[in-house]
A and B are shown apart, each in its own frame.
Chain A
Amino acid sequence: MINLALSVGSTQTPESVLFYVLAPLSVLAALGMLIVKKAVHSALLLAWVMISLAIFYIAQDALFLGIVQIVVYTGAVMMLFLFILMLVGVDSADSLIENIKGQRAIAITAAIGISGLLLSLIGRATMINDTIGLAAANREGNVKGLAEQLFTKYVWAFEVVSALLITAALGAMVLAHSQRAKSKFVQRDLSIARFRKDSLAEAAGLPGSGVYALHNAVDVPALLPTGKPAPTSISAVLEARGDMIDSKGFEMKPEKEDE
């Protein structure tokens, strides 16, 4: 028959204090992930959940996994998530309108069902023995124990996983690669374009900006021999922005011939 008591042993007081402080916080953060609108906030909350899980791993004698959790998950994977968020647009807030009617209600009902099932399953499960603990398995250190398992019993799985990693990296490169629609406009094309213009007036390059005794800057147009400012001598951006200085003031006045 069903044995209601799950007798898997209990923990020391410091660990239970740690659990009762961190577990509600991580559940709250996970719930917050669902509620917050912005994806960046979700990412930060997930990072918090992952760090608290890493602390739980370390508390449960899985030192190596705890460190890997921090380095790989909160370091690399969350970094990747944030990177993609920056590419896709940080302020793309989620629309909260339901496309399928009643989807959210159904989802929450189903979730309560699943969690009820899982929790009651754990509550009713019977372990054949009390908690053994990892003191014996970690006798020569957690890393050494894991390495022994990885390189003897699970060496085939380890090799297959390495092939999977390489394949994933190649796949990501293939997916992220995009071919140029047009060939790049290089210096050769620029040179050809300059000589194929209607006039050869600018074939030797555009005139430089004005150089005067009192003012020497890129925002002053040069003067043509006719006395008019040359419009091509300054950047079109400066002109559009209105940052152009009138060159009339720097024009050389004919000297008075009274001396």
Chain B
Amino acid sequence: MSIANYLYLSAILFTIGAIGVVVRRNAIVVFMCIELMLNAANLAFVTFARINGNLQGQVVAFFTMVVAACEVVVGLAIIVTIYRSRRSASVDDASLLKR
């Protein structure tokens, strides 16, 4: 098996996450799809680290994980705040600027 297969898997998972962000309505599921995209990118980083024979790809993947954790914390706090005022976690209901 070629090591490039990991890259193909990463591309497929990234695309699935991108579809989820556009198609799903529940803000929490949208967030999970963003996590899936970040994870797919991490897989590519780890694979490239192996191909190039140094650990820099792994260090970048590590930083991605930290940033993803921050993003989840703030994002979920925003979802809870919106839910508290609008009683809904659907991304379609937060459309106050439209009217």
Given contacts A80-B73, A132-B53, contact A10 B2 (CB under 8 A): yes
- CB-CB under 8 A from B3, the residues of chain A are 8-11, 131
Among A10, A99, A165, which residue has its beta carbon within 8 angstroms of that of B69?
A165
> B60: shortest Cβ distance to chain A, in Å?
9
Q: By the criterion CB–CB under 8 Å, are B77 and A175 in contact?
A: yes
- CB-CB under 8 A from B61, the residues of chain A are 62, 65
Q: By the criterion CB–CB under 8 Å, are B59 and A154 in contact?
A: yes
Q: How many residues of B contact A (CB 8 A)?
A: 70
B-facing mask of A40-82, CB < 8 A → 1, else 0? Answer: 0011001001100100110011101100110011001100110
Interface of B (DSSP majority class): helix
- CB-CB under 8 A from B42, the residues of chain A are 53, 57, 65, 69
Among B5, B18, B28, which residue has its beta carbon within 8 angstroms of that of A23?
B5
- CB-CB under 8 A from B66, the residues of chain A are 161, 164-165
Q: By the criterion CB–CB under 8 Å, are A84 and B4 in contact?
A: no
Q: By the criterion CB–CB under 8 Å, are A19 and B14 in contact?
A: no
Instruction: Find the B residue at minimum CB distance from A130.
Output: B51
Provide a sorted-by-A list of 5 A–B residue pairs whose CB atoms are within 8 angstroms.
Answer: A9-B2, A27-B16, A60-B46, A88-B28, A175-B78
Binding site for B on A (CB under 8 A): 6, 8-11, 15-16, 19-20, 23, 26-27, 30-31, 33-34, 39, 42-43, 46, 49-50, 53, 56-57, 60-62, 64-65, 68-69, 72-73, 76-77, 80-81, 84-85, 87-89, 92, 94-95, 99, 103-104, 107-108, 110-111, 114-115, 118-119, 122-123, 127, 131-134, 136-138, 142, 145-146, 149-150, 153-154, 157, 161, 164-165, 167-169, 171-172, 175-176, 178
Binding site for A on B (CB under 8 A): 1-9, 11-20, 22-26, 28-29, 31-33, 35-36, 39, 42-43, 46-47, 49-56, 58-59, 61-63, 65-74, 76-81, 83-84, 89-90, 92
